[in-house]
Amino acid sequence: MTRDYSQFLPTDAQTPAQTPEPAKRAMLDILGWQPFFAQQLALETLTQTPPVRVVEVHRNGLQVRGADLEALVPPGPEATVGDWLLYDAELPTRSVVLERKSLFKRRAAGHDRSIQMIAANVDTAFVVTSCNNDFNVARLERFLALAFEAEVAPVIVLTKADLCEDPTPFVAEAQKISARVPVVLLNAKSEEPAQKLADWCAPGQTIAFLGTSGVGKSTLVNALFGSEQAETGAIREDDSRGRHTTTSRQLHFTDSGLAILDTPGMRELQLAEAGDGVADLFSDVVEIATQCKFRDCAHESEPGCAVRAAIADGTLEAERFERWRKLEAEERHNTASLAEKRAYDKNFGKMVKSVTKAHKGRKGRR
């Protein structure tokens, strides 16, 4: 059976003779299908292997959803929640993963050095903090750098506006962080979230929340689901080891077609191998630093230091420079210790192997 998939291709690839199927097109759009993915494909490919989105990752494989299909792809494809696959009905494990728009990832613990993919194709990351003691510019910057590293557009959301006498200083501080990062102030427990976050929550968009515990992430998710039953919290379970999160990663879709990422892995993102993200967020500082006389300028007391000059003439805030320096150092430290840990694990593995071998050898001789 062949189906007309021409409507899923960019407009210039369509031939007028092909009748659009608005219903199917709409279904894919709601799953987050975008021109970015469509342009990677030829029409024949789409007919033979329809695009499906990974809506859940669990032990048995990848749960995928397409315009009119729902399937489980057994473990095999290197994919994560949010990915788009070209579904091969005959050999599902051969389904091809489309190039990603964005990817949250981290290094897996252990010796295999593998990158663990947390979530793909997220459009917007809401970096959440509250207008209270949780508010911390350096911490915000860490989350923002992670979003930039993943190539996801971040938005700062300041919650608990209703509990704060005067939230303007919080807004002002947040706005100063980057001209590229919008700031939204709201009461997460009111009807405000749906209105104030509407720009990033259109049907077909995929969003995620970053932020420390208690800032209102679950409350925001619930607000975006409106009267719908939000499934947040459902993935948590209690066992003898205490409260922990299951390994399941999933996308929840609102009735309007907004995809909300729900994955425990987002809590454990480390600032490692995120040098590009840090440089992106602090592109102004990086730019100034390139003008220092010495390439290896430490921006201390070297002659011709553009950074010191910028601080002196007020173009660069001393605090911002210090935060950049700290964040960069943290990033470098974490990246280095990851490398060290990898080397250690590798050696440890070797050691275990040789000890076991020797032990077996001894046993054999007995």
Question: What are the binding residues for Zn(2+)?
Answer: 292, 297, 299, 305
Single out the segment in contact with ligand GTP by CB under 6 A; choices: 28-36, 89-97, 159-167, 324-332.
159-167
Query: At residue 134, what is the residue type?
Result: D
Least gap, CB of 157 to ligand GTP (angstroms): 9
Q: Round to whole Å and give the CA distance between 231 and 234.
A: 5
Residues 6+ apart with CB under 8 A from 257: 29, 30, 31, 203, 204
CB-count burial class (<10 Å; 0-12, 13-18, 19+) for 354: exposed
Separation between Cα atoms, residue 168 and residue 257, nearest integer Å = 33
Nearer to ligand GTP, 185 or 311 (CB): 185
263 touches ligand GTP (CB under 6 A): no
If binding is defined by CB under 6 A, does position 133 make contact with ligand GTP? no
Local structure of 327: helix, strand or coil = helix
Minimum CB distance to Zn ion smaller for 305 or for 316? 305
Under 8 Å between Cβ of 157 and 197? yes
Near ligand GTP by CB under 6 A, which window of 95-103, 105-113, 213-221, 268-276? Answer: 213-221
Structure tokens at 352: 């275990």
Q: What is the DSSP string of 118-152?
A: EEE---EEEEEEESSTT--HHHHHHHHHHHHHHT-
Residue type at 185 in one-letter notation: L
CA count, 13 A, side-chain hemisphere, 117: 18
Q: Cβ distance 95 to 49 under 8 Å? A: yes
What's the CA gap between 78 and 101, in Å, rounded?
A: 15
Name the one range near ligand GTP by CB under 6 A: 176-184, 207-215, 287-295, 299-307: 207-215
* Binding flag, residue 292, Zn ion (CB under 5 A): yes
Q: Contact between 307 and Zn ion (CB under 5 A)?
A: yes
Task: Tell me the C-alpha distance between 320 and 314, whole Å.
Answer: 12
Binding residues for GTP, by number, are: 159-162, 211-219
One residue of 41, 86, 201, 305 binding Zn ion per CB under 5 A:
305
What φ, ψ does residue 354 adopt, rounded to 5°? Answer: -70, -35
Residue 342 one-letter amino acid: R
Residues 216-255 touching ligand GTP, rule: CB under 6 A, are 216-219
The residue within the footprint of ligand GTP, chosen from 107, 142, 160, 299 (CB under 6 A), is 160
User: What is the smallest separation between the CB atom of 284 and Zn ion, expressed in angstroms?
Assistant: 14
Task: Tell me the residue nearest to ligand GTP as measured from the CB.
Answer: 216
DSSP code string of 74-96: PS-S---TT-EEE--SSSGGGPE
Binder of ligand GTP out of 103, 174, 215, 224 (CB under 6 A)? 215
Per-residue binder mask for ligand GTP (CB under 6 A), 185-204, x = binder = --xxx---------------
214 binds ligand GTP (CB under 6 A): yes
Q: Which of 297, 311, 316, 327 binds Zn ion (CB under 5 A)?
A: 297
CB of 118 vs ligand GTP, minimal distance in Å: 16
Question: Shortest approach of ligand GTP to residue 71 CB, angstroms?
Answer: 31
Smallest gap from Cβ 293 to Zn ion, in A, equals: 8
Residue (122 or 186) nearer to ligand GTP, CB: 186
Residues making contact with ligand GTP (CB under 6 A):
159-160, 162-163, 187-189, 211, 213-219
